[in-house]
Structure 1
């Protein structure tokens, strides 16, 4: 039996991933019914949205004590947006908290490698909630 069939029987939703020129895996997700492009990052503890996309997703930003670090930058100030809805293909979750921070350094790196900008990062918090399984060979993410 194929992995795809086995996971479908177990109630998983299959999401096709797109490999970028930087070898990241990208997907389309909706936050509060508004579509955006996201990088899948198993090393990111939290799902994040760039500060420049707060209005795009109609997020309510609040100050946060969390300091963000990653991709060569540390101690970045963050905000948080509480209780959002996220949908990735047919998989949906409510009451999702999003970390908001400056993603310019990430997007500059992507643009420098002829890849498209992203609105945010899907992190381990959501991947855990969805009992994620990543099929790298077939560029698919499975969420339950």
Structure 2
């Protein structure tokens, strides 16, 4: 019987390494518009997001949004939306990713309070759905197709 890894690679999936943090989040490297950053993979986040302070770093063009964000202990947060961005994770690419920008300082403060490194943003269910994502928790890997 083939392993999960062998089976998924045979089916055309790309394997990406995930790195558990001291807070039990899964962290990964990814490129937004060709620029590398550090992200938490969050299955509970409906949309991928980046902190306002990193918008220019990733060359995001954004517009104010009427949608208020909630999550990670905060609600009714002002947001901006950046449409049509590219996302590259390992050898896998998504060409039209919409990214929500909002204040992630509470997330990074929580990480830093546990001696974890801050992140540029969060990759959410939009990426997992778009890439038919499969997470292998035993081996800390993400498979995307």
Normalization by structure 1: what TM-score?
A: 0.99
**Could you report, residue by residue, the CA deviation over 1:31-81 in whole angstroms, capped at 9, with x for unpaired residues?**
000000000000000000110100110110111121110011001010000
Corresponding residue for 1:6? 7
For the residues of structure 2 that align with 1:110 and 1:68, how far apart are their CA atoms? 20
**Could you report, residue by residue, the CA deviation over 1:81-137 in whole angstroms, capped at 9, with x for unpaired residues?**
010010000000111100000000000000000000000000001100000000000
For the residues of structure 1 that align with 2:44 and 2:97, how far apart are their CA atoms? 18
Runs of 4+ in 1 over 6 A off after TM superposition: none
Corresponding residue for 1:96? 97
Count of residue pairs brought into register by the alignment: 144
Corresponding residue for 1:69? 70
Corresponding residue for 2:140? 139
Normalization by structure 2: what TM-score?
A: 0.98
Gaps of 5+ in 1: none
Corresponding residue for 1:115? 116
Corresponding residue for 2:19? 18
Secondary structure of the equivalent of 1:8? helix
**Root mean square deviation of aligned Cα:** 0.5
